[in-house]
Structure 1
Amino acid sequence: MRGAGMSDKRVVVSVTDLVMRYGSKTAVNGISFDVHQGEVVAILGPNGSGKTTTMEILEGFRIPSSGDVKVFGIEPWDGDERWRSKMGIVLQSWQDHPRWTTRRILEHCSRYYPVDGCGQINHGLVAEVTEFLSLNAFIDRPLGRLSGGERRRVDVALAMLGSPEIIFMDEPTAGLDPRARHEFHELVSFLARERGIAILVTTHDLDEVEQIADRLLTISRGQVVAQGTLEEIKRRSGGEVTVTWVESGEKHVEQAGAGYLALARQLLADPKNRDIDHLEIRHGSLEDSYLRIMAAQAAEQEERVS
């Protein structure tokens, strides 16, 4: 995970009190969050929590029931071609032509970003994404014969054709083997860090969140139940906290729970502890925090019903 500190970056996505209803069912209920330039934000939640609906609204495919939604300062459902050229999408799976080669699918989609005239292949753009994403090894291989990791790189290449400022990714590593997942995580981090691309990704995978996300948005039953950096979420969930310190060359470890700050202050303030040369505070795992958050939300929902 990369560090926080995105407040000085340009806001790419702004969502306030987003509500989406389908008849009597409320799929999204008052969600609010921002995404900044060069930031990776993960949306985590169980099936049916509202993740996909939220993404489809941001991509301009659905109009919400209420709320304020802006992507590049424009309501997505009113975005024109120029607005859409700033956006890339990586779906969980594509229905395309398995006999087409990597080169052919890139050339076909590059026609939407022509140089000389409408419908012309943009060879320069194809060459650029091919080199940038290291596609040469399978540029002339049919899509149906690519490995999961290779296919994912092609998906990102298609999303990169328009030189996007944000990429929406829907469970992008589903079905990938560990090596392909690791390579994809490195690619996502590079796109955000080096290219300054904002990335919004939905996932069920807590390990994936820890690998790539700057911030996490946890959704349940259409509502945000937690959001912030991973450390903020771990801290707020009230889980186990381990305090480790070295005093006079001897290592000490204590499970402090909610009293970890009081213990740390005591250690640093006590004049007898001048020989302390290392103090570390480590919160519990993200999985523990997530389970606590979801259990609390379920208990709250049950209390409302009763």
Structure 2
Amino acid sequence: MTMPNTPTAAPAITATGLSKSYGDKKVLDGIDLHIPEGTIFALLGPNGAGKTTTVQILSTLISANAGQARIAGHDLTGEVDAVRGAIGVTGQFAAVDNLLTAHENLMLMSDLQHLSRRDGRRRSAELLRRFELTDAAKRPVTTFSGGMRRKLDLAMTLVGDPRIIFLDEPTTGLDPRSRRTMWEIIRGLVADEGVTIFLTTQYLEEADQLADRIAVLDHGKLVAEGTADELKRLIPGGHIRLRFGDANGLETAADLFGSAARDSEELTLQIPSDGSIPTLRAVLDVLDNASVKAESLTVHTPDLDDVFLTLTGQAQSGAGTNSQLENAR
């Protein structure tokens, strides 16, 4: 159910047939990816779907059993050092040393990146400013809030100036304000520096807000991919809601749209719609041609919650969902 993808930028990540099993348990079952440079790609899926395994494979932490991938133009298995030099990884839990200060954590990462002491101090100061941690630079990390720890963790990832960053559920456990701060930081990395972000998340609003393209992973398989709007149009339930000033207007409009649901008390008509502009225009044309005037019009489309629950509910809901997905292909 992959939507058409016509990227203009060079690929930052490509993968074909990636598979991973542990004994007789298949965690990834032949997934394909094409992620252009300078974009945000979100991978959604329930717990156990294979999101973290995908990140671990693409970031060279574990090997796939089958398949091929290229990261920043480098072969994943044949050019491991080059791949690692091009990427940064922020895991589900902040990988910071609680016994050190923010500055010391960044200097430690600078040493691991083989920066000179001078360059390390410069880079650390720059990142502390960017993440608004300068005032807390000399404080031990044990005194930091969850949001501050996640910011420091991402800052440490950026010490080596990676071109591709894997963010594995980066805002888990953060309060709404801290989460939105992280979103702004992530947007800035892409807009200002052209970094590519590979994001896994269980927060559907996060994917909707950030991602240029979204893929849904379930039981190790990609069951859908596209923009947020494309995915929403896959799910039935979208409609155009018309409200009329009197019963005569409602009655006339109801005769024009045979499949519409009527609410005589509210004087509304609900017309099935895929949410597209051509469909909206067609509805308005029908009303205009019949000289019927609606007092208000609203367009309702399924949200990513609906997409997620429908696409990842196959195992529980059985043939009905499978049939629905097949019809949407």
The two structures have a TM-score, normalised by structure 2, of: 0.79
- Residue 232 of structure 1 and its aligned partner are, at CA, apart by 0.4
C-alpha spacing 1:203/1:259, structure 2 compared with 1 (3 Å): closer
Q: How many Å separate the matches in 2 of 1:258 and 1:210?
A: 21
Question: What SS is found at the alignment partner of 2:68?
Answer: strand
The root-mean-square deviation of aligned C-alpha atoms, in Å, is 3.2
Q: How many Å separate the matches in 1 of 2:5 and 2:109?
A: 36
Residue type at the aligned position of 1:294: T
Over alpha carbons, which structure has the higher Rg? 2
Match of 1:285 in 2: 303
Moved more, 69-78 or 222-231: 69-78
Question: What SS is found at the alignment partner of 2:161?
Answer: coil
C-alpha spacing 1:299/1:124, structure 2 compared with 1 (3 Å): same
Question: What SS is found at the alignment partner of 2:313?
Answer: helix
Match of 2:83 in 1: 83
After TM superposition, the structure 1 = structure 2 runs for residues 29-178 of structure 1, keeping only pairs within 5 Å, are 29-94=29-94, 96-116=96-116, 122-178=120-176
Match of 1:231 in 2: 229
Residue type at the aligned position of 2:18: L
- Residue 272 of structure 1 and its aligned partner are, at CA, apart by 4.8
Residue type at the aligned position of 1:285: D
C-alpha spacing 1:209/1:179, structure 2 compared with 1 (3 Å): same
> Cα deviation per residue 1:132-183 (whole Å; 9 max; x = unaligned)?
2222021111111111111111011111111111110111111111111111
Whether 1:182 aligns to 2:180 is yes
Residue type at the aligned position of 2:185: L
C-alpha spacing 1:257/1:177, structure 2 compared with 1 (3 Å): same
C-alpha spacing 1:71/1:255, structure 2 compared with 1 (3 Å): farther
Contact 1:85–1:163 (Cα < 8 Å) also in 2: no
Moved more, 235-244 or 135-144: 235-244
C-alpha spacing 1:120/1:83, structure 2 compared with 1 (3 Å): farther
Q: How many Å separate the matches in 1 of 2:21 and 2:5?
A: 34
- Where structure 1 has 5 or more consecutive residues not aligned to the other structure, the ranges are none
Question: What SS is found at the alignment partner of 2:285?
Answer: helix
Residue type at the aligned position of 1:265: A
Residue type at the aligned position of 2:40: V
Whether 1:203 aligns to 2:201 is yes
Question: What SS is found at the alignment partner of 1:256?
Answer: strand
- Where structure 2 has 5 or more consecutive residues not aligned to the other structure, the ranges are 250-266, 323-329
Match of 2:219 in 1: 221
C-alpha spacing 1:263/1:41, structure 2 compared with 1 (3 Å): closer
The two structures have a TM-score, normalised by structure 1, of: 0.85
Q: How many Å separate the matches in 2 of 1:262 and 1:96?
A: 51
